[in-house]
Amino acid sequence: MGPLLLIGGHEAPRGAALEAFATLAGKGGRIALLTAATEDPDAALRRYRETFGRLGLGEVLHISAQGRSDCAQREAAQAVEDADGIFFTGGDQLRITSLVGGTPVEAAIHAARSRGAVVGGTSAGASAMTDTMLVGGQDEEAARRASIRMCPGLGLLRAAVVDQHFAQRGRINRLIAALAQNPGILGIGIDENTAILVRDGTRLEVLGEGTVTILDGRGTEVVEASEQDVDRPVALGSVALWVLRQGYAFDLDRRMPPHTPSLAGKTSAVPVLR
């Protein structure tokens, strides 16, 4: 199973997140770039061709996906399935699932990952990778049932919902509202120029200059979120919270970090890219 790399947006061209993606795809690796999320695919293509070229990657194949018919093309699906790395740009995550979901290109993404290809995405491209996808909501307001919208994502990361631009846009209440509706999932908030690297579907590693906030509501004792009163603030108690920076890891099965950093600020959970 290939790794997942989810970036919180505004990643540096030579930062830890994209360097990790290049390392995992391999020198000279072929990249399938999916621009379904953006309204300016040509600009996104120019940017990532230049960035990936500087990082030592090879050919960047553009999967424009501006309509569902594009994702039904055998040539597009084959290019995705044969790629060493697959990358989703930012934009609007609902465009990704509505244009790619249920098509041969989506099947090719899962097939490529099954044989070991790395799948990455930034901003909307990160949010779309989970099985439950956060598609919108108000920043910096009380957590309410009506403050967010969720729908099915691509299902590459299970039992989680991801929000991006997290600290920069004050989005913790969006995750709280998501957990109030489904306490069994993990809420993962990723800051800008920061990423999570998920290996083997179980080990999450933090990369980049910001932090990753993880909320686990399975042990909550109080949940009050009503469909009949969607504008009323939710009530949620006993939520486990972790805020992790680069070098820290998190076990998605056990739902806790595998190691505790020393008082000297070092940790045995420093990721080693292979």
Beta bridge partners of 122: 7
Q: Catalytic residue among 123, 127, 147, 205, which?
A: 123
**Lookup: tokens for 136:** 């919108």
Closest to 145 (Cα-Cα) out of 186, 193, 179: 179
Beta bridge partners of 243: 213
Under DSSP, the state recorded for 144 is B
Can 110 be counted among the known catalytic residues?
A: no
45 vs 40: CA distance, rounded Å: 9
Torsions phi, psi of 207, nearest 5?
-130, 150
196 vs 121: CA distance, rounded Å: 10
Q: For residue 116, which amino acid is it?
A: G
Burial class (CB within 10 angstroms; exposed 0-12, middle 13-18, buried 19+) of 258 = middle
Q: Catalytic residue among 11, 81, 106, 165, which?
A: 165
Are 32 and 106 in contact, with CB atoms under 8 Å apart?
no
173 vs 222: CA distance, rounded Å: 16
Closest to 123 (Cα-Cα) out of 194, 63, 186, 62: 194
Q: Catalytic residue among 114, 141, 238, 259, which?
A: 141
Can 123 be counted among the known catalytic residues?
A: yes
Are 153 and 97 in contact, with CB atoms under 8 Å apart?
yes
Please identify which residue in the block is written with the tokens 């306490």: 183
Are 23 and 273 in contact, with CB atoms under 8 Å apart?
yes
Is residue 172 helix, strand or coil? Answer: helix
Can 205 be counted among the known catalytic residues?
A: no
Which active-site residues does the annotation give?
123, 141, 165
